[in-house]
Amino acid sequence: MFRPWEDVELVEPVKLKVASARMLTDAIRELVFIPGEGAKLAGYTPGAHVKFQLSSGERSYSLIDFDEDTGQDGNAEYRFAVQLERQGAGGSGHMHGLAPGDEVLASGPHNDFPLMPGKPALLIAGGIGITPLIGMAAALKRAGTPFRFHYASRSSAAMAYLSELKATFGNQVAFHFDDQPETALDIDGLVASANPDEHVYICGPKGLIEAVKAKAETAGFAPDRVHFELFTSAAQQSGDTEFEVEVKSTGDVFAVPPGKSIIDVLEAAGLDLIHDCRRGDCGICQTDIIEGIPDHRDVVLSDSEKAEGKVMQICVSRAKSARLVLDL
């Protein structure tokens, strides 16, 4: 269970052991981990994630907690749901390949997507972006803080935790299915009906985050009332091609092929880079561009910052020019 509003972070990686695994949909697998030998599971706050150290690199997954009061002291287990990204770099495939008893190194929990204590909330999830919002809704419910909870997916079959969400939140959660137009998510209506104290939390694909952010901005929401976490494999799109990255400080040039990010390539070459989410939503990896035209795929930069082309998030963004020269 988590301890609401308490911020506890483990820095050193610990071993997590797979206790159980099951498919929630044809592409989403739930994994429950218990401490590996010598490990202890730290508490966490709603919205937190754990970073797994996989052979394909670090991958972050949000902790899931429906629990309202287990009466347990501390964390007996961590639960995650991982969507298989067939076009991705292998992190989700690794997680789908784990079997009970397997151990993985992980660090955290970390929280870049925290709830604002005591503030009413509008929670909007798209697809696998439901995972951090479950713990948020449970915490809000437990605290008696008003919240609205909306979950959109392609279809009911593609939706993780449909029955658990109904059982836990009843009519406090609304479902929206792309294949049932009468259930369509009404972003305009949700934003227009927000009360002045309500904070908005969005987790899902880039299009959903950008749509809600744009509506909230137009409606006059202060930026600090809109919180978001990107939940897609933004790094790869069909039609991606190889480009070059020149590291200004050394003059070294590296090829970045489709399926690999700039960070993947530069770290493999031994560069020490700062990053966190690796999804394009935290801004930690932002890097100055000296030459070249970026292909922005993050949700951090504003439209005008993207158009200026002076900085980029090197965890997900790519290049429209043959070469980028980066201030590294």
Cα-based distances in Å from 232 to 24, 202, 237: 18, 13, 11
Amino acid at 173: V
Q: How many residues sit in the footprint of ligand FES (CB under 6 A)?
A: 14
What one-character DSSP code corresponds to residue 140? H
Q: Which is nearer to ligand FES, 264 or 298 (CB)?
A: 298
Compute, in degrees rounded to 10, the torsion defined by CA atoms 16, 17, 20, 23: 60
Calpha distance 140→128 (Å, rounded): 20
Q: Which is nearer to ligand FES, 85 or 298 (CB)?
A: 298
Q: Which two tokens stand for residue 307?
A: 């158009």
Q: Which two tokens stand for residue 101?
A: 């008893």
Q: Which is nearer to ligand FES, 16 or 300 (CB)?
A: 300
By CB under 6 A, residue 58 contacts ligand FES: no
Task: Find the shortest distance in angstroms from Cβ 88 to ligand FES.
Answer: 16
- The distance of Cα 122 from the centroid of its chain, to the nearest Å, equals 17
The binder of ligand FES chosen from 30, 65, 229, 298 (CB under 6 A): 298
Calpha distance 154→175 (Å, rounded): 11
By CB under 6 A, residue 284 contacts ligand FES: yes
By CB under 6 A, residue 285 contacts ligand FES: yes
Within residues 251-280, the interface with ligand FES by CB under 6 A covers: 275-278, 280
The binder of ligand FES chosen from 24, 115, 190, 315 (CB under 6 A): 315
Q: Which residues of 157-188 are buried (b: 16+ CB within 10 A; e: fewer)?
A: ebbbbbeebeebbeeebebbbeeeeeeebebe
Task: Find the shortest distance in angstroms from Cβ 205 to ligand FES.
Answer: 15
Task: Find the shortest distance in angstroms from Cβ 19 to ligand FES.
Answer: 29
By CB under 6 A, residue 105 contacts ligand FES: no
Q: Which is nearer to ligand FES, 106 or 190 (CB)?
A: 106
Task: Find the shortest distance in angstroms from Cβ 275 to ligand FES.
Answer: 4
Positions touching ligand FES (CB under 6 A) are: 275-278, 280-285, 298, 300, 313, 315
